[in-house]
Structure 1
Amino acid sequence: MAIEHEHTRVELIHADDEARYLLSDRREIAAILRQLIEAHALLSARLRPGTDTFITAILGVAEDGESLVIDASRDDAINARIMGEARNPTAGASRAEDAATTDPDQAVVLDCVTQLDRVRIQFGLKSLQLTSSEGSAAFRAALPQQLLRLQRREFYRLQAPVTQSLTCTLPLRHTDGVVRNADLRVLDISGGGVAIAVPPADAALEAGMELMDCQLKLPGSAPIPARLSVRNLFRITTPNGIEMLRAGCQFTHMPRGAEDTIQRYILKVERARNARQRALR
């Protein structure tokens, strides 16, 4: 089973409806973990900090909902590094989960990513202990305090082709207080809004912020003036450690006919993508 974007970490910074993405109720988290067991879902686990990754699966969730057991890596060296990190956690753990505690024993050691019914599931594991399950090495960990769910239809709309330049110009206030226009890459687009990649250095954005005088630039079309409202912010960390913010923005004002222009662009890209896929069959 392929695990899409398995080595990319996604952290929710803020959203209008945080509960839509982030679960904190222990019973709900335990229920989803048990669904993953029933679905025989594979997880991609990455040691944090570091780049060690391995494929694992949840073997069981304790009846009291306090802990879970996952398969250990087949690589004993990775298992040793996991236990070393569990015993001596370093700073630089998850901003989202670790900011709530100053106890070093509670630092996230493993980032786990999987899919359930085409929904991305992500959580961090703490307090790992080496154990065994049916004669094989395994890890026992505390139940995740939070679990991130990202619906594909909500988080991945039409992904902008990397072969085409699709940008949006935003007026961003920098740390010196000066507002400057920035041409930022559009990650995905729909008739209702866009998701934009924002470098951390330009990240003076907050959920709910209204961005005036923006310009959406589609290939083959004149720039479309737009007003954007920031609805959610995610921090994306790629496998090689590069960080960016994904700002999900809603169109709150556009000129007449702009939505039709966007829909035509989306249909054109989808037709070209489908034609390429048919040619590869």
Structure 2
Amino acid sequence: MSNSELDNWHDYRVVSRREILALLRQIGEKNQLVRMLINGEADVCVTSILDLDPDSDTLVLDRSIDRDQHRRVLAAPRLSCETSLDKIRILFKAENPREIDYEGSVAVAADIPESLVRLQRREFYRMQMPVSNPVKLVLPLPDELGGGSATVPLADISCGGIAFMDNKLALGELAIGSTFEGCRLDLPDVGPVVTGLEIRNAQDVTLLNNKTARRFGCMFTGISRGNLANVQKYITKLERERNARLAGLG
């Protein structure tokens, strides 16, 4: 979870300090694991909340057992953290990490976040695209990829991002972290959605015809509230159609 992703979830942000402290305390008391991203998905430390001191505005996290990674944690200006509490996804930033002594051991202290994001399962559940009515993504290409644009089919969609298929392997191996601006989704019965996309992962898959394709997982970047509302509207539409099919089968 990158720092920029937090900014896309403005509708789910918690800014009450009392509520933030209560949530962080519960995460610590229940010994929930926290994924701490140091330099994106390529550098992740699994940690936990050891303590919380509102008077000194300090959040105490367990240190990495890897010394080199611990040094990278301390060198980072901020860390992106992701955990869950009672099946609710919690995202927050840990600013100003520094080393402290905690109960005789080395630990990492950070500022208590001024806000965090709390996501119910529904907000980030990915819906598979219907085969009968595929959705196309128009992806503007940079000069190094020949310029112009590529039109590719969506594989799934959520309020956090999409996955698309490069069935012809025309895009090559896009670098993880690459960002494409002005991408366009034409959602049936909803309308167009224009957003930036950041490549988060890539995976080669074998199709039914035994040909190889590449699946790219992307995160929305800089998406507006109106565009995000259209994405949610389309997901709700897919859910209704799926439930109707299931009821018909029943």
Q: Which residue does 1:228 correspond to in 2?
A: 191
Matched residues in 2 for 1:46 and 1:194: separation?
Answer: 17
Matched residues in 1 for 2:132 and 2:7: separation?
Answer: 27
Change (3 A) 1:172 1:49: closer
**1:210-249 residue pairs with structure 2 within 5 A?**
214=186, 225-228=188-191, 238=200, 244-246=218-220, 248=228, 249=231
Q: Which residue does 1:90 correspond to in 2?
A: none
Q: Which residue does 1:5 correspond to in 2?
A: none
Identify unmatched segments of 5+ residues in structure 1. 1-7, 87-106, 206-210, 216-224, 253-257, 272-281
Q: Which residue does 2:242 correspond to in 1?
A: 263
The aligned amino acid for 2:242 is: Q
1:168 maps onto 2:135 in alignment: yes
Matched residues in 2 for 1:236 and 1:181: separation?
Answer: 16
Matched residues in 2 for 1:27 and 1:73: separation?
Answer: 29
Query: For 2:5, which of 6, 11, 17 is the aligned residue?
Result: 11
Q: Which residue does 2:115 correspond to in 1?
A: 146
**CA deviation profile, 1:18-71 (whole Å, cap 9, x unmatched):** 2x3222333322221111012211111121368332221101110326111011
Contact map agreement 2:179 2:198 (CA 8 A) in 1: no
Q: Which residue does 1:81 correspond to in 2?
A: 72
Matched residues in 2 for 1:148 and 1:35: separation?
Answer: 15
1:28 maps onto 2:16 in alignment: no
TM-score of the aligned structures, taking structure 1 as reference length: 0.56
Q: Which residue does 1:116 correspond to in 2?
A: 85
1:125 maps onto 2:125 in alignment: no
1:134 maps onto 2:103 in alignment: yes
> Once the 2 structures are TM-superposed, how far is the Cα of residue 114 of structure 1 from its aligned partner?
0.8
Change (3 A) 1:181 1:167: farther
Contact map agreement 1:128 1:140 (CA 8 A) in 2: yes
Q: Secondary structure at the match of 1:33?
A: helix
Matched residues in 1 for 2:160 and 2:51: separation?
Answer: 39
> Once the 2 structures are TM-superposed, how far is the Cα of residue 119 of structure 1 from its aligned partner?
1.3
Q: Which residue does 2:171 correspond to in 1?
A: none
Change (3 A) 1:78 1:183: closer
Q: Which residue does 2:62 correspond to in 1?
A: 71
Q: Secondary structure at the match of 1:153?
A: helix
> Once the 2 structures are TM-superposed, how far is the Cα of residue 131 of structure 1 from its aligned partner?
1.2
1:51 maps onto 2:42 in alignment: yes
Contact map agreement 2:181 2:195 (CA 8 A) in 1: no
1:156 maps onto 2:114 in alignment: no
Q: Which residue does 2:206 correspond to in 1?
A: none
Change (3 A) 1:166 1:60: farther
Q: Which residue does 2:213 correspond to in 1?
A: none
The higher-RCO structure (CA 8 Å, 6+ apart) is 1
> Once the 2 structures are TM-superposed, how far is the Cα of residue 188 of structure 1 from its aligned partner?
3.5
Matched residues in 2 for 1:184 and 1:13: separation?
Answer: 27
Q: How many residues align?
A: 206
Q: Which residue does 2:211 correspond to in 1?
A: none
Change (3 A) 1:238 1:195: closer
Change (3 A) 1:69 1:236: farther
Identify unmatched segments of 5+ residues in structure 2. 143-148, 165-177, 203-215, 221-226
Contact map agreement 2:37 2:81 (CA 8 A) in 1: yes
